[in-house]
Structures are given as structure tokens and as C-alpha cells.
Amino acid sequence: MSSSIEALVNKEYAYGFVTDVESDTIPVGLTEDTVRLISAKKNEPQWLLDWRLKAFRRWQSMTEPHWSNVSYPPIDYQAQTYYSAPKSVKPLQSLADVDPELLKTYEKLGISLTEQKRLNGIAVDAIFDSVSVGTTMKTELEKVGVIFCSFGEAVQHHPELVQKYLGSVVPYSDNFFAALNSAVFSDGSFVYVPKGVKCPLELSTYFRINAANTGQFERTLIVADEGASVSYLEGCTAPKRDENQLHAAVVEIIALDRSSVKYSTVQNWYAGDKNGVGGIYNFVTKRGKAMTDAKISWTQVETGSAITWKYPSVILQGDNSVGEFYSVAVVNGMQQADTGTKMIHIGRNTKSTIISKGISAGKGQNSYRGQVKVLPKAEGARNYTQCDSMLIGNACGAHTFPYIEIANNTATLEHEASTSKIGEDQIFYCKARGLNAEHAISLIVAGFCKEVFKELPMEFALEAQQLLGISLEGSVG
Amino acid sequence: MLTITNLHASAGSKEILKGISLTVKAGEVHAIMGPNGSGKSTLAQVIAGHPGYDVTSGSIEYEGQDLLELDAEERAQQGVFLAFQYPVEIPGVTNAYFLRAAYNEIRKAHGEEEADPIEFLDIMEEKLKLVEMDASMMQRSVNAGFSGGEKKRNEILQMAVLAPKLAVLDETDSGLDIDALRIVAEGVNKLKRPTNATIVVTHYQRLLNYIIPDHVHVLAGGKIVKSGGKELAHELEAKGYDWLLEPAGV
Ligand SMILES: Nc1ncnc2c1ncn2[C@@H]1O[C@H](COP(=O)(O)OP(=O)(O)OP(=O)(O)O)[C@@H](O)[C@H]1O
Ligand SMILES: [Mg+2]
């Protein structure tokens, strides 16, 4: 269409650089010894090693699931490295000791870990490959009793909390990728908000994969005690590499009575090039359990990864508990996403809302897969599902796979779905008002995603919108 | 301002415009009339730069430059405005946001500072009055769920805010009630300057009672088959188009 669009097609992924740090990387391959080695490196207590080993043995007996609507060549789990950490990161170091090279990396990603330039009101835990580089604003949080630290640190300082909740929502036996993660997870974030405390800061974790041929297997555990509330955001990027890299994370949320947890994700892992070479394989298990009167809300903006396999879910265990899932998933180039949610209604008067916006461009394939399950005792359960797809161009695809199981006839379910095509007409209308094609598309798409964006913490809504614009650049021409 | 010479344009393999020549000078109002399907909207879209039409021969010169060399957005930035016959809906994007984005693109193209939302509010308020539109319309999604008349009025609001040099109004009067017609026409008249020009595409003489054209052209079968002064519109109202079609070989 125009040379400016052509230039944009070839635009680089802005986060594709590699940081040159010396790393402590264990040999490729996965055996019981690998699991022991990771656990030893992290100086873990015996119970945790035992748990990992149980997970590992279970994993060995499982097969990789292939029911999702994505295809990829077989993954050789023995050709991966399961632990890599910059040598300069000392266990439980303070921020003042962070390697300047790593600080620079995060600066380049737009995240400042140094005191002066931090975003107001946001505490950050920065995870680089297999370890946490540091966590900001810790003292501010400690004043109100909020624990926000790396998972490794939590194991050392708060073992009773970790032991109590680890695997309580996503057991190691849950699925193939969760079992793998349970065996080899290296780091991640841990959050505990005590009874009645409203966390005064936005918490966020920034995941960065740097090392080649290394998988990232982080584990996040968030516990909101009775009446507590917290908002948490995760961001992810990785260098451009020609090999696919594996990311298999587990996130568990425990929302005790009357608490509320809002979990937002802006996922921008490297997506591979336009021919489908390289990119992250993103196999993630995220689940929360909401007790009486508690609320868990997932918001995700998924723009990266070659493959996304992810279903943030809520077990509505307690009466009157609320589960929400707001999702924008974008595929462009050769990306494939199979994402959605599960809402399991167990308690009475439980309520769930699902808003899914799938955008497909290039040769991307986007699938929404959602399950709403109402168990026999869930009197008065309610679900509202809205599932909208937008297509840009003719070579992409959008698919929806809703599953509904109802065992209580007092349940009310509403389902709405739509598929639209970004029209030449819409783009021309914008152009006739002076907007170029990229601006037009990002505007039209932002409008399409509005209901989801408004759920993001304000600081990130704009970022997400821009990100969306970038991932769709060059999709029309 | 605008010189169209022997313009041929087609959509796919179908030729729609078959040799149009038209000269519009600054300060003038031209009316284009003609039967359904004669190519009026196509001409308007080709002027605005719709990529769905191929110009197979002929030229369009605008303000001393080759208009056909410019992308649609560049044309808009340089003062060409098309009020759509069928304005397009953009769900989820507020009218205010859209209009400010457009306004700022045009300012940027002129090397001017962008207006922030507060400044823009002032600009908009004044223009809303001009077309007697309620401010609440600005918080609704662009054209989504607007009535036919509201959509047309919204086009004129955009025109008022963007202050084009050359405005092409494609059947902006269709679907308007009497009051709206008057408001829209008055809006157009108030925006008239010696330095800008307007082309109105219409089926109805009544609009031309409000917006007095300097020239009236009849488009039929992709050609201009007759041109005249404002009295031609009255003649068409009385006699229809048939008497023009046959001699023109349409
Ligand atoms: N994109 C297109 N593809 C194929 N045919 C087209 C296309 N656009 C217009 N046409 C045809 O060209 C002819 C002229 O259409 P156009 O919309 O310009 O007419 P018009 O004079 O504006 O008519 P009306 O008074 O009904 O608005 C019609 O026969 C129409 O069907
Ligand atoms: Mg028309």
C-alpha cells in the first residue's frame, strides 16, 4: 500500500537485544539430578526437594498434551537448559549490589530498579532467566506487613507460608507443564498480604529470558489473607533468537474470605520472525481459588510468543465469590494462541465474567477456549461470557471453543460472541481524516479492546495500547 | 484549486468514471447531481484517495500538486475533506478522541503543536454549537448507533473542526429532516471562505436553496453530461434526467 507500511513490516522487536553477562548455566538435559542440582543451588529445605522430585516422577509418566489448536515440532526436553543465572547475582542480595549491566538491561526495557527513577506507587521484582535480580520498595511494603519478594527468598524467610500454599491450587500433578514447572522451577515472585491490609502499592514482576536454549520456569504464589486486597502486574520480554525457547510458568492465587486479587499480565515474549522462525513457546498454568466473598480478577494482554497455551482460571470455592477474566490476545505473523479461562462454580451465588477479545492478523491463528462449570451445590451461580474476534486480512484465523457444564438448574448463563473484520472502510474513513494506516488500525483495535483495557491498572493501559499498535504494525498493506 | 482532467477510474474490471473534467476555483461551490449509480460517490472517493479504485488515465491537480501521488491521509492533511455518504462506525473509540486524533494529525502535518484534550474541548465546543449538536455525542463511539441524520451532522462537525480547503459532501442532505438540513447548510455556509471550495453531491434541489452553487454539473454514466448555473438544478427538478441522457449517449 505505501512504503511507510513496508518499513514497518520489517520493524524490529524492540526488546530483542541480548545482555552480555557471565552466567552460571547448568548442562542441558533433565534428570533427577538436574532437579536436585537446582534445589541445591537454591539451598532449599528437604520438603521442597521432595516435592520437586515427586513432581518430576509424575512428569515422567505424563505425555505432552496436544488437544489445543496449535501445532509445533516436538520439543526435546533433554536439549534444554533448566537453570541459568547471571554470576553477578548473589543470593538474597540487596538492590544496591545489582550488577550495573543488569540494571542497564532493565532500563532499556523501560523498568528502573534504581531509587531515583522508579515509577510512583509500583514495587518491582525483576526476574532475569532463573533468578530474581532484586525487588524494589520492600521497606515501604514491610511497614504494612506485605511480603513481596522472590520465590527463592520466600522459601528461606517464610517457609511456613510457602509450604502451606504451594501446590494448593495447582497441584504438581495438574498437567504436563505444571508438573514440569513444579520439578524445575527456579524463581518467581511471592506475595502475601496480611489480614485486612489493602496493599498500598501496585506490585509487579518483570520476567526477562536472556540466556540461549534456556527455559524459564517461574513460579508465582500470591496469598491475600482475609479482607486483604492487592493488584499485581507481570510483564515479559525475551531476546530475538532463531531457536524456540520454552516458558512454562505456574501462577497460584489464594484469595481468602473477603479478599480481592487483581492479576494483570502484559505478555510480550519474542514472537518469532514473520516466517515463524524462533519465538517463545509459552505454556502457562494460572489458577486462583476464591473463598467466601472473595474476588479474583485476571486481565491479560497477550501480544508475544510464538505459541501461547494459557487458561487463567478461577475456582469459585466460597459462597458469593467472584471470578473475572478479561483478555486481549493478538496474533500476527505465524503466531498461534490458544487461550481462555475456566470458571469453576462451587459455592452458592458465585459469579463469573469472561470478556475475551481475540485479534488475528497475518497468518496468525487465535483460539478462545473457555469452560464454565457449575457444580451441584452452586445455587444461583451466574456467568456472563462475551467473546469477540477481529480479523485483519484474509490469511488469519479465529476459533472459539466454549465448554459449558451445568449441574445446578438455578444457574444463569449468558453468552455472546461476534466476529468482525477490520474493514477497509474503517481504515479508509480514518485515513480520510488524516490518520495513517498504522494509527487507524491501532485506534480501531483499541476501540475493540476497550472493555479489557479499562481493567488494566492505569499506568499500564496506555502501554498495552501502544504495544498492541506495535504488534499489529505491518499487518495491513 | 482543483483541476480534474479526463479522469477514468475503475473498480476491478469495471470502468465507472469515463473521462471527467472539472475545474474548481477557490471560493466556489459546485453541485454535482445525477442518477443513482452514475459515479458521483466514486468521483468523491477517488478525490479522497480510496485505494479500491484505480485511476486508469487522466489527472487530478490540487493546489499545484499531483493529488493522485498522495495517500489518502496526506490528502486529508493537506486540506481535502470528504463527508461520506455512508459514514463508518468505529466501536469503542469515542467521537471526541477520534476527532482530536484527526485534528492533531492535520496540525502535525503543518508543523503545528498538537492540541491537548483540554484545549481541544474549547475548539469542539464552539463547533458543536455551529451544527447544534449535543456535547454528549462526543462521548459516544464514532457513528456507532447514531441515527442517519446524526451521522451526517457528525460529518459536518468533523468538517468544521478540521477546516478543510476542499470539502466534498457526498449526499450529506439525504436522510436529514428539514431542521437538520437547514442547520447543516448553515454550517457549510458559515465555513465558506474565499480561500476554500466545496463540492456538494446531492439529489435534491432543496439543499441548493440553502447552499447556493456557482456551478451545477450533471453526472451520468461516468461522464459530466451537462454543466450550468444554479438554474440548472431547478430545471432538473422539473424535468428529471432523461432529456440529458439520450443526447449524451448514456
Ligand atoms: N468498489 C466497487 N466495485 C464494483 N462496483 C462499484 C464499486 N463502487 C461503485 N461501483 C459501481 O459503480 C457505479 C457508480 O457507483 P457510485 O456509488 O459512484 O454511484 P452514485 O452516483 O454515487 O450513486 P447514488 O446516487 O446511488 O449514491 C454503481 O453501478 C456501483 O455499483
Ligand atoms: Mg453515491
Q: State if residue B42 touches ligand 1 by the CB under 6 angstroms criterion.
A: yes
User: For chain B, which domains are there?
Assistant: 2-248 (3.40.50.300)
Residue B171 CA to ligand 2 centre (angstroms): 7
| Residue B197 CB partners (closer than 8 Å, separation 6+) | B1, B2, B24, B25, B26, B27, B28, B29, B30, B165, B166, B167
**Looking up cell 464514532, which residue turns up?**
B142
Inter-residue contact A52 to A217 (CB < 8 Å): no
Buried b (16+ CB within 10 A) or exposed e, A142-158: eeeebbbbbbbbbbbeb
Q: Nearest residue CA, atom 12 of ligand 1?
A: B16
At residue B195, what are phi and psi to the nearest 5 degrees? -95, -5
What are the residue ranges of helices labelled H in chain B?
A: 40-48, 72-77, 95-109, 117-130, 148-162, 178-191, 205-210, 231-239, 242-248
B90 Cβ under 8 Å from any chain A Cβ: yes
- Rounded Cα distance, B237 and A318, in Å: 73
Which residues in B lie closer than 8 A to residue A439 (C-beta atoms)?
A: 101, 105
User: Taking Cα atoms as reference points, which of A80, A182, A86 lies closest to residue A128?
Assistant: A86
A297 or B247: which leads in pLDDT: A297
Contact B141 A430 (CB under 8 A): no
* Predicted confidence band of residue B79 (pLDDT cuts 50, 70, 90): very high
B39-71 per-position pLDDT tens digit = 999 999 999 999 999 999 999 999 999 999 999
Which residues in B lie closer than 8 A to residue A430 (C-beta atoms)?
A: 73, 90, 98, 102
Which residue(s) pair with A326 in the sheet? A299, A355
User: Taking Cα atoms as reference points, which of B152, B20, B150, B149 lies closest to residue B82?
Assistant: B152
SS3 assignment, position A197: coil
Confidence (pLDDT) at A470: 66
Per-residue pLDDT, averaged over B97-114, amounts to 94
B49 Cβ under 8 Å from any chain A Cβ: yes
Which residue(s) pair with A214 in the sheet? A81
Confidence (pLDDT) at A441: 86
Residue A354 cell numbers, joined: 469472561
Q: State if residue B40 touches ligand 1 by the CB under 6 angstroms criterion.
A: yes
- Rounded Cα distance, B1 and B81, in Å: 14
3-state secondary structure A9-29: HCCCCCCCCCCCCCEEECCCC
How high is the ipTM of this complex? Answer: 0.96
DSSP A80: S
B133-164 per-position pLDDT tens digit = 999 999 999 999 999 989 999 999 999 999 99
Which residues in B lie closer than 8 A to residue A433 (C-beta atoms)?
A: 76, 98, 101-102, 105, 158, 162
Residue B91 cell numbers, joined: 466501536
What Cα–Cα distance (Å) separates residue A263 from each residue in A281, A325, B146? 21, 10, 36
Which residue(s) pair with A63 in the sheet? none
Inter-residue contact B88 to B98 (CB < 8 Å): no
Confidence (pLDDT) at A475: 60
Confidence (pLDDT) at A376: 97
A277 or B112: which leads in pLDDT: B112
**Looking up cell 457549510, which residue turns up?**
B188
Q: A145 — alpha (psi -120 to 50), left (phi > 0) or beta?
A: left
Strand duo A147-150 + A131-135: pairing: unpaired
Residue-level pLDDT, tens digit, chain A, 477 residues = 333 323 333 345 677 777 777 778 888 889 999 999 999 999 999 999 999 999 999 999 999 988 888 888 888 999 888 888 777 676 656 677 777 777 777 777 777 676 545 555 677 788 777 677 777 777 888 899 999 998 999 999 999 999 999 999 999 999 999 999 999 998 889 999 999 999 988 888 887 777 777 788 999 999 999 999 999 988 867 667 777 788 899 999 999 999 999 999 888 878 788 887 888 889 999 999 999 999 999 999 888 888 889 999 999 999 999 999 999 998 888 888 899 999 999 999 999 999 999 988 888 899 999 999 999 999 999 999 999 999 888 888 999 999 999 999 999 999 999 888 887 889 999 999 999 988 898 888 888 988 888 888 776 776 676 677 666 666 654
B210 Cβ under 8 Å from any chain A Cβ: no
- Rounded Cα distance, A53 and B226, in Å: 89
Confidence (pLDDT) at A362: 85
Per-residue pLDDT, averaged over B197-206, amounts to 92
User: Taking Cα atoms as reference points, which of A22, A27, A233 lies closest to residue A128?
Assistant: A22
Q: Nearest residue CA, atom 3 of ligand 1?
A: B11
Contact B162 A434 (CB under 8 A): yes
pTM (predicted TM-score) = 0.82
Ligand 2 ion: Cβ-proximal residues, 5 Å cutoff: B 40-41, 85
Q: How far is CA B20 from the centre of its chain?
A: 17
B22-44 per-position pLDDT tens digit = 999 999 999 999 999 999 999 99
